[in-house]
Structure formats: C-alpha cells, structure tokens
Amino acid sequence: MTVAAALSIFLLGGVLGAAIAWFAAHSFSQRTIESLLERTKNELRDATATRASERVSELVSPVTEKLGEFDRLLGELLGRTNQLENATLNLTTQTSTLVTALRNPTRWQSLSAFAPIANPVAVPWGKKAFGNYLGPDTAAWQEWDASILMRRRAYPGAILIDQGQADQFLAEQLHPEALEAAAAVSGQALTLRRHERYDHSYWFIQTFIADHLAHHAKTLL
C-alpha cells in the first residue's frame, strides 16, 4: 500500500468517525431536548390545570356574592330577606343556574331553567370546556355538573325545567334525562316538561317564560 493510499484511508476514516460522532451527539441532544420539552409541557399543563380550577372558583365566588347582594336588596324592597332568585341568571346561563343553586342550596329559594346542559362531563361541549378550564382531572369536572350534584344532594325546593324536543342540541349535548335519573336517586322535586316542535331559540323561552315567573312567584311571594 502506498503512502498516499494509506493517508487517504486514514483521512476517510477520520471524516467518517467525525460524522458518526456528530450524528450521535446531535441525535442525543435532540432526544434530550425533546424529553425536556415534554417534561416541561407536562409540568406546565398540571400547574395550569390547578391554577385554572382555582381561577374558576375565583371567578364564580364574586358572582355568587354579587347575586346574593342583589337578592338581599330586592328582598328589602319587597319586605322579605334571602327569598329571591336572580332571574337574569336563570334566563341567560341555564347550566350555571342549576350548578350555582345546587352548590349554594340555602341561598337560592326558587330555581328553574330552559334547556340546560344536564350532564356536561359526558358531552362534547362540557368535555371541551372542562378540559380547557379545569384540566384533565375529570374528578374536578364533577363539581360543576348539575346532574352529578343533584344526584348527591337534592335542592330543597322544586325545580322547573322546560326542554324543546326539536332542539338541535338535544341528543348530543343536553341530555335532560340525566337530571331525571339524578332526581330519582336524591328525591329531588323536579318537573321536566318536553315540548314538541320547539327548538333552542328565544322564541321557546318567550313562549314559556310566564310559567317560570309563576313558578318563582308561587315560592317567593
């Protein structure tokens, strides 16, 4: 073997060795970075979920307190104390209405709802919202599910719920039968009325709102 050939082999081997070493180091570094990123992402997700759960409580508590103050002021105007449900809450956020009352049963004396999401932990809307706001721990979700709360403990008064049978969200998202099942377990006084040809629109609410006002008046006045 000539000196030139030996030198060529030596140089070629050195280049290949360097290339192999570089690729190995690069691969190891990439795996390390990916592992660190994944660990950091998991830690951030867990911390975010914990903080999100705390934040939900922080957001809900002042609303509940303000509604309580509104309740007290209205009670004074009508010569009664702690006897009025906030009608705006009832009309605008049906699921929140049920959850707020079931979580604070001594504060709200009359309760009704139109087409609420009865069992959010089991439907796409609820899973998406709870997953984003409360994190992956499904046990935490249950504290904000009306049917689960009702199953654990009955609300002390009668509840009126109206549901349209032509509601486009009925089958996939609303599941009012979950409330009926929960009421059967806890002994909740529940009137759940189903109406043919009514959907999820405000026309539905307009049609039956008088019944809800009468329901509250019967309890409060």
SS3 track for 103-171: HCCCCCCCEEEECCCCCHHHCHHHHHHHHHHHCCCHHHHHHHCHHHHHHHCCCCCCEEEEEECCCCCHH
Would you put residue 163 in left (φ > 0), alpha (ψ -120 to 50) or beta? beta
pLDDT of residue 107: 81
pLDDT of residue 95: 81
- Whether the full predicted model's pTM is greater than 0.75, yes or no, is no
Q: What distance in Å separates the CA atoms of residue 219 and residue 57, rounded to the nearest whole number? A: 29
Q: What distance in Å separates the CA atoms of residue 125 and residue 117, rounded to the nearest whole number? A: 9
pLDDT of residue 32: 59
Q: At residue 73, what is the residue type? A: L
pLDDT of residue 50: 55
pLDDT of residue 63: 55
Q: What distance in Å separates the CA atoms of residue 132 and residue 217, rounded to the nearest whole number? A: 38
Three-state secondary-structure class, residue 93: coil
* Average pLDDT per 10 consecutive residues for the chain, totaling 221 residues: 43 46 49 60 56 57 58 56 42 73 87 94 94 91 96 95 97 97 98 97 93 89 79
Closest CA to 83 of 210, 189, 217: 217
Q: What distance in Å separates the CA atoms of residue 28 and residue 25, rounded to the nearest whole number? A: 5
Any idea what DSSP says for residue 200?
A: S
pLDDT of residue 209: 92
Q: At residue 42, what is the residue type? A: N
pLDDT of residue 14: 47
pLDDT of residue 200: 93
